Structure 1
């Protein structure tokens, strides 16, 4: 199962079969008159997988070299210890062999983990734990008395270096995918609306490595999908033919396909032996990660969706981490905060801090703090500027807002005006990571779906911050916030915090 496609789409991956091609059963959708016959795809399996093999070979080479480098450092550090010389030499050689082997065992070299989600990093971490446990066990069982530098220092260092190397490799792979290299060519199958939604998600997340090249829809939807998506469009019975024509290597079926269960089964039979990969989008587009499991019930595979958890020990850890980091940041940035406060005071009349009522966890109101970046009394001028609103939905944003002071433009560009919100985090009314804190007027117009944003504490940063900030349409901002609510985890928080720094430096969507 593959989860974690950016943008919230969850795809269930069907393993490629090795059996010979089965012809569709008479009377089923795939066997209708005029349906495209199974086609020979030649080297379709090898062609699109070539990038994965190259990527895998590079990873193996670099990670073997990292293991050799770590082993060499340990040997050089203990070269004066004659008694441990041979033991360390053999341990170092074993490290060079064992590290890539353990990465392979944990699945860190599987194509499905390349460039998507956090699963790749978890597998590397798991390999590090296995290596640490294995060395400790061998040292104790064989009474080798391995050096602490090897067991306690070298293995964690190797795992950390590998994680950094994997991140760099992922960035390189993402750049290639945005240029159209290292991607899977996808034909999307289903009803018109579901197809257009999935096409839009995949086109907006190019780094996921899925490039939509055609669509197969019902006859009534063909012209609409062709106009909206700008792609070759065929019927539901012509999947194999259109896949051959556009040289696709992946078929993605939406959950809203006509006669979904029967059609999907027949299509899977048709794809056997062709080398075409089959993906199914189950419709739970905002649910991903550890909440999804495939569970067989008496031979029937069902998708199990766990309930989201908004309480428990993870929330306690999140709250403690939020307050600890906020306190440390306030102490470390106190000179910067003082300088910014003085600059706001000297460059425009009015208070240093702007206080605004926002809605937090469970609908409770709180006062959010920011450095004032507009002229004093700016909130009273909103009515006269409503015609120039650049945002949609419930938001009010003006790209070139005349109320913003010259200093305020710089503060907003790099989100420096939001630093006082660390006080809100310290008080517990905000979190480091969470949905955008809404205004009471916005909450009053929420429907039941959007109201789910209030199930978690609003954040200083979030998925909206790293995905475009003020440039995001209202619906996209809501979707990202709901995605966070449905899939919150400590790992996701750390990932968002890491990406926030890059978003702030680039100043994308900040105004």
Structure 2
């Protein structure tokens, strides 16, 4: 018994030894970056609001009891402090709760509104009348926008670093079944999520699987009963338990084993196609159950999406018209042929339509397709070729930044496409579609989508279908807006474009 106790103490020490220097350092580096970004953004918002309201950065409060040097910008430090506290209250510095996406924007909105309310109450408590309400509204609105942009920059930089293997947390996948294999595959495919799978643990002797089961680069490190020892030996930060691989008593035991190690414990739900905003854990008669809100493209939702498309597409067309004219001139100068390229595509419900694009290939590209089919670099029914000889000089530039896609706004206005949705396939691609593949055509195809911001040309066909079905299952206007915002850095950075 004494030996067992000593082994436990040794394991506990080993489990915690690496955290202050590695896990904590990574955690506090990210939190510090977010805090600095927020303080800078809030300070800039104060200065901008002061200038917009008073046409000077040095507007006086005009209150006799305050020192002559007091100004709106100096008083704004109270708002900065309140806003940082509100951001903390909304969980925006808790990396375990932080939502990197549309959920973050709603939390920032609540935090800035709460800070404004707190600032008003503070001014009444201190009996400081005369503060400009227009100024406070400007500060609140600008703070939301600038803080959101600042965090977007931090998130973009963090993702770029993680793709290079920096600031990654070591993850152990506990379980040996298809769910565990899918978790390992997804984490390998998306290092920007911040988790690097270093190994898997088998569920039992009977289910022990080959080293390549989870992933070709994710070895099997032992069995689940060795969880604590493996966590200590491999300096694990995060343990991801595939719950479908174990009875609930075993899951509870593993959680208890890791309780005092400092390891972050994640339980997979198996709901790979459900957005977390739709999931609620609630207790029924003492039993924790997962509730999933329903989402459907009802006639009302379809009308909302259509109105959103019409407003946004019309605004983009009007604003981008001068650029369209320059692009048209460049295409005509570079190679003979029409400016617009029309191609038959398959839309919602299998209906066909002509999709518009700026011509990026030579006029005889379709006739020359047979010459390059053997060089196809995509799987499934897709055709992709990184250095397609049929692409013109201007066309390479247009494709690199997805500018050739702009005329699809005309398809959006005609009701044949949406701003956000699944990629519209070619008729020849649909000939090989399975019943599951056809499910992605339940909605209008889109100019951008979850596939666009998740890898574009680097995705396999199966991954693209999975992302499209995920989008359909979880659609909302907020989700559409978030995907459009995420498309901007992807396009500007030319990530995944061929």
Please report the TM-score for the alignment, with normalisation by the length of structure 2: 0.84
Counterparts in 2 of 1:467-478, with a 5 A limit? 467-478=454-465
2:219 to 210, 220, 231: 231
Residue of structure 2 equivalent to 1:241: 229
Please say if residues 139 and 145 of structure 1, whose CA atoms lie closer than 8 Å, have aligned partners that are also in contact.
Answer: no
| CA deviation vs aligned residue, 1:177-211 (integer Å, no higher than 9, x gap) | 34444332211011244333211211222121112
Q: 405-414 or 185-194, which moves further after superposition?
A: 405-414
Counterparts in 2 of 1:204-353, with a 5 A limit? 204-217=189-202, 218-219=204-205, 220-225=208-213, 228-257=216-245, 259-311=246-298, 315-353=302-340
Residue of structure 2 equivalent to 1:173: 158
Residue of structure 2 equivalent to 1:81: 62
Counterparts in 2 of 1:317-396, with a 5 A limit? 317-396=304-383
The reply on whether 1:182 has 2:167 as its aligned counterpart is yes
| CA deviation vs aligned residue, 1:74-93 (integer Å, no higher than 9, x gap) | 49543173469579779545
The reply on whether 1:42 has 2:26 as its aligned counterpart is no
What secondary structure is seen at the aligned counterpart in 1 of 2:136?
helix
Q: 278-287 or 307-316, which moves further after superposition?
A: 307-316
The separation in 2 between residues aligned to 1:104 and 1:420, in whole angstroms, is 43
1:102 to 72, 79, 86: 86
The reply on whether 1:144 has 2:129 as its aligned counterpart is yes
Counterparts in 2 of 1:409-428, with a 5 A limit? 409-428=396-415
The separation in 2 between residues aligned to 1:83 and 1:438, in whole angstroms, is 70
Residue of structure 2 equivalent to 1:122: 106
The separation in 1 between residues aligned to 2:440 and 2:215, in whole angstroms, is 34
Q: 386-395 or 133-142, which moves further after superposition?
A: 133-142
Please say if residues 170 and 195 of structure 2, whose CA atoms lie closer than 8 Å, have aligned partners that are also in contact.
Answer: yes
The separation in 2 between residues aligned to 1:192 and 1:207, in whole angstroms, is 24
Please say if residues 114 and 170 of structure 1, whose CA atoms lie closer than 8 Å, have aligned partners that are also in contact.
Answer: no
Please say if residues 79 and 116 of structure 2, whose CA atoms lie closer than 8 Å, have aligned partners that are also in contact.
Answer: no
2:467 to 475, 480, 485: 480
Q: 426-435 or 337-346, which moves further after superposition?
A: 337-346
What secondary structure is seen at the aligned counterpart in 2 of 1:437?
coil
The separation in 2 between residues aligned to 1:232 and 1:347, in whole angstroms, is 55
1:56 positional shift: 2.7
Give ranges in structure 1 of 5+ residues lacking alignment: 1-22, 24-33
The separation in 1 between residues aligned to 2:403 and 2:279, in whole angstroms, is 38
Summarize the Cα distance change of 1:292–1:448 in structure 2 as closer, same or farther, 3 Å threshold. Answer: farther
1:105 positional shift: 1.6
The separation in 1 between residues aligned to 2:88 and 2:226, in whole angstroms, is 38
Q: 241-250 or 332-341, which moves further after superposition?
A: 332-341
Please say if residues 188 and 251 of structure 1, whose CA atoms lie closer than 8 Å, have aligned partners that are also in contact.
Answer: yes
The separation in 2 between residues aligned to 1:64 and 1:178, in whole angstroms, is 27
Please say if residues 115 and 207 of structure 1, whose CA atoms lie closer than 8 Å, have aligned partners that are also in contact.
Answer: no
Please say if residues 79 and 119 of structure 2, whose CA atoms lie closer than 8 Å, have aligned partners that are also in contact.
Answer: no
Summarize the Cα distance change of 1:396–1:239 in structure 2 as closer, same or farther, 3 Å threshold. Answer: same
What secondary structure is seen at the aligned counterpart in 2 of 1:446?
coil
1:246 positional shift: 0.3
The separation in 2 between residues aligned to 1:72 and 1:365, in whole angstroms, is 53
Please say if residues 36 and 241 of structure 1, whose CA atoms lie closer than 8 Å, have aligned partners that are also in contact.
Answer: no
| CA deviation vs aligned residue, 1:300-329 (integer Å, no higher than 9, x gap) | 111122222223655434322322232222
What secondary structure is seen at the aligned counterpart in 1 of 2:244?
coil
The separation in 2 between residues aligned to 1:69 and 1:197, in whole angstroms, is 44
Summarize the Cα distance change of 1:172–1:84 in structure 2 as closer, same or farther, 3 Å threshold. Answer: farther
Please say if residues 212 and 219 of structure 2, whose CA atoms lie closer than 8 Å, have aligned partners that are also in contact.
Answer: no
Please say if residues 175 and 241 of structure 2, whose CA atoms lie closer than 8 Å, have aligned partners that are also in contact.
Answer: yes
| Aligned-residue RMSD, C-alpha | 3.3
The separation in 1 between residues aligned to 2:436 and 2:145, in whole angstroms, is 40
Residue of structure 2 equivalent to 1:63: 38
| CA deviation vs aligned residue, 1:35-65 (integer Å, no higher than 9, x gap) | 9996443345545133323433454455346
Residue of structure 1 equivalent to 2:138: 153
What secondary structure is seen at the aligned counterpart in 2 of 1:188?
strand
The separation in 1 between residues aligned to 2:345 and 2:47, in whole angstroms, is 56
Summarize the Cα distance change of 1:63–1:378 in structure 2 as closer, same or farther, 3 Å threshold. Answer: closer
The separation in 1 between residues aligned to 2:9 and 2:461, in whole angstroms, is 42
2:27 to 38, 44, 52: 52
Give ranges in structure 2 of 5+ residues lacking alignment: 51-55
The separation in 1 between residues aligned to 2:82 and 2:181, in whole angstroms, is 46
Please report the TM-score for the alignment, with normalisation by the length of structure 1: 0.82
Please say if residues 362 and 390 of structure 2, whose CA atoms lie closer than 8 Å, have aligned partners that are also in contact.
Answer: yes
